[in-house]
Structure 1
Amino acid sequence: MVNEAGGAVVPVHWTPLGIALGLLSTALAAGLAAVAVTRPKLLAAPDRAQPLRRLQSGHVGDYVAWLLVGATLLGALALPGVLST
């Protein structure tokens, strides 16, 4: 089937397994969020993670810097695969 713009139209196909996995992941996320809000010490980072926590102060510049570091690292890891083709 083709729409007026010339692109293919794919009907949505919902499976019982897909619905169950979606509901399960939603319930797990809500449960984890509830535990994090009601008992924050339970999910607190261990003491050995404190040096890493000091690197992220919450300022916008930190987010930009870590995004740049992550993008650079991802690019460096993907580069051999891109160059070999």
Structure 2
Amino acid sequence: MSNASPFRRSTPELPSTTGVQRLQSFAVGSAQFAGFWSAVVLPFAMLALIVSGSVVQQVPLFVGLLLANVAALRVGHGHKQD
């Protein structure tokens, strides 16, 4: 008779590739979702700065919003393109 336990494994189990792929897919999908909706909302903040006339005093903020919008457009480009 063998005294090996059926509950012990001789080698540790690595995470399955499907689990890693699922996590990667979730992370990419979440980033695309956030990027897409940020690209939709950020122009309204920029428009508010322009309409209020405070864009002259807040040039770094406006440039930051503009760069953030470009980045959001790039990240969110593939959202819901199956």
User: TM-score per shorter chain, which class?
Assistant: 0.3 to 0.5
Q: Which structure is larger by alpha-carbon Rg, 1 or 2? A: 2
